[in-house]
Amino acid sequence: MINRKEKKKVPAINASSMADISFLLLAFFLMTTTMEVDTGIARRLPPPVPPTEKPPDIKERNILKVNISKNDRILINDKIADVRMLKDQAKEFLSNPYNREDLPEKRWDTIPALGGLYEVSKGIISLKNDRGTSYEMYIKVQDELTKAVNELRDELSRREFGISYMSLKNDEQLEAVRKAVPISISEAEPEEYK
């Protein structure tokens, strides 16, 4: 009698519902989460300007005026233009490869990773838009301007380090390229409409 009792096993716990429970959890996480990485055009806003401060004097040749009208038309230096022309104009303006008189001046800046002194453009792109400008057009313009800067950075990076800007891993080199070709976009203070 005693022998028989010892042989009796504890019944196994039925684990078949475990799968159902974990599927439920899985479904919950699938529903509540987002996979896609958020992407966007990064910008830095300027700190607010005290009303008493006068705008700095900038030479005519150092400014590229880009205006977007309320009908999404573009004026570059007061001439009607197309978005597709913007990138090339901005590139020429920011690099001034032949040191032309009507394009921006350059100043010498010490960038050790680029072998000491490097000529950084003084050019500033002045972006102005109307309250009625569509956001889509604004982003298009910002995108073209970023493209111009990124292409210049890429050219510099290939010339100096032999690899593209996107594949630069060295922080010092990355910083140097960014300093040599800054994103100098200045947005006009919105005007008060009365």
* Interface residue list for other proteins (CB under 8 A): 15-16, 18-19, 21-23, 25-26, 29-30, 32-35, 37-48, 68, 129-136, 138-140, 142-143, 146-147, 150, 190
Phi, psi dihedrals of residue 181, rounded to the nearest 5°: -125, 85
Task: Using the minimum distance from each CB to other proteins, give the nearer residue, 136 or 171.
Answer: 136
DSSP β-bridge partners for residue 63: 124
Length of the chain: 194
| Nearest distance in Å: CB 50, other proteins | 12
Question: How far are the Cα atoms of 16, 49, 126, 131 from residue 189, in angstroms, in the given order?
Answer: 66, 9, 11, 12
DSSP β-bridge partners for residue 120: 107
| Nearest distance in Å: CB 35, other proteins | 6
| Cβ-contact 158, 164 below 8 angstroms | yes
Task: Using the minimum distance from each CB to other proteins, give the nearer residue, 48 or 115.
Answer: 48
| Nearest distance in Å: CB 193, other proteins | 9
The encoded tokens of residue 45 equal 């806003």
DSSP β-bridge partners for residue 116: 111
Return d(Cα 52, Cα 133) in angstroms, integer.
29
Q: In degrees, to the nearest 5, what angle opens at C-alpha 185 toward C-alphas 106 and 179? A: 50
| Nearest distance in Å: CB 56, other proteins | 18
Task: Using the minimum distance from each CB to other proteins, give the nearer residue, 98 or 193.
Answer: 193
Task: Using the minimum distance from each CB to other proteins, give the nearer residue, 126 or 142.
Answer: 142
The encoded tokens of residue 19 equal 């799968």
| Nearest distance in Å: CB 113, other proteins | 22
| Nearest distance in Å: CB 122, other proteins | 23
Task: Using the minimum distance from each CB to other proteins, give the nearer residue, 33 or 52.
Answer: 33
Token pair 């111009």 is at which residue? 148
Task: Using the minimum distance from each CB to other proteins, give the nearer residue, 34 or 110.
Answer: 34
